[in-house]
Amino acid sequence: MAILALIVLVLVLTGIAAVAYAIRARNMQTWLWGYLTRRRPRAAGGPIHVMFCFVDHFEPAWGKVDLSTQRARVDRWCADYRRLADRHRDADGRPPQHTFFYPEEEYLDEHLTKLAALCAEGYGEIEIHLHHDNDTPDNFRTTIDRFNRLLHERHGALPVDPETGQLRFGFIHGNWSLDNSRADGRWCGINNELILLRELGCYADFTLPSAPSDTQTSTSNAIYYATDDPHRCKSHDKGVPVRVGGNASGDLMIVQGPLGLNWRERRMGIVPRIENSDVRKACPPTPVRVDAWVDTGIHVEGRPEWVFIKVHTHGTQERDMDTLLGDAAHVMHDHLEQAYNDGDRYVLHYVTSREMYNIIKAAEAGETGNPDAWRDYSLPPPPNRSS
């Protein structure tokens, strides 16, 4: 009996060690406890409005390919996305919206001209993406300011703040390394990046979640304001939740996508997958995942009946294009429109990142009713797109 008990003890300890190793290997220790202990208030009465936003780290030159390959990638998106989106509509009669976060370091006029034409037809908007390493504040300012003006003046992208006249933009950081958040210090170099982004006109950051990267914050499944400490990295690890009746607090709004554990689509039927809002061939947007995104219930505190879903991809990688532009994407949109757009329990709204931000600000200000009315609440559409 004693030997049996010892064997059981060894097996239990081995299992615990294996779980601990798996958690560490995926950097889950950063966010898992907060995820497991998070309490989400449920909406009481009336329909739940679902704001669905698809953001894309859109990198035509990914893999350092030649110009003909870049052109083929952009051309496929401009052709196939029209066909995809034209088959779908939300409660407001609008097609799915795709926000192209375009990398400054890959700028090519002809690519942006094609994307701008797609967006002008009502299929999405263009925002800013940046990969940099060992950067300086002065160079960062110059780079972002120049790219802002180029996108706006040449391609009609980015809104103008009606109160200040400043160009405003959404941001996704390359390599997930917002505010110098990698443990090894690579792919950024700036500890006051949140301050710089605010000063340059960034309305919100859409980088997260970044799990299993070590850049993932301990805060998850949240919309919050982060305050920069210019003397340390990863200042956005925690912040002040955006709430109804609150005021902007800190340097930058952080809009996170769903993060958690997917127990229904386990690896080998045993190990739960990390649900990190990433959409690609290896992790297609199945109805099970869509249900999990909605159930996560990311919202402005005090307004749980407005749910914000932000998912992301790297859209120009050939291995993933059939998923993003083909049957798997249709399955995702069909499920959204059938399960979350009955007008009674759920109402679906396809939004760009700018529109999502505007609806968040409307919720913060205490606005009610149909969120569709608040798509342009704070920031108007960019010049190449009508309201």
Are the C-beta atoms of 194 and 243 separated by less than 8 Å? no
Q: Please, what are the domains in the chain?
A: 49-374 (3.20.20.370)
CA distance linking residue 189 with residue 27, whole number of Å: 21
| DSSP category for residue 244 | T
Distance CA 36, CA 259 (A): 11
Classify residue 150 by burial, with Cβ atoms within 10 Å: 0-12, 13-18, 19+: middle
Q: Directed axis angle between helix 327-339 and helix 67-86, to 10°?
A: 30
- Give yes or no for a contact between 332 and 292, defined as CB atoms under 8 angstroms apart: no
What are the backbone dihedrals phi and psi of residue 15, each rounded to the nearest 5 degrees, phi first? Answer: -65, -45
Distance CA 224, CA 381 (A): 23
Alpha carbon distances (Å) from 290 to 39, 276, 316, 369:
20, 12, 22, 24
Q: DSSP string of 183-194?
A: TT--S---TTHH
d(CA 190, CA 188): 6
pLDDT in tens, the chain (387 residues): 677 655 555 454 454 454 455 576 567 778 878 787 777 777 777 899 999 999 999 999 999 999 999 999 999 999 999 999 999 999 999 999 999 999 999 999 999 999 999 999 999 999 999 999 999 999 999 999 999 999 999 999 999 999 999 999 999 999 999 999 999 999 999 999 999 999 999 999 999 999 999 999 999 999 999 999 999 999 999 999 999 999 888 999 999 999 999 887 776 667 788 999 999 999 999 999 999 999 999 999 999 999 999 999 999 999 999 999 999 999 999 999 999 999 999 999 999 999 999 999 999 999 999 999 999 999 999 998 765
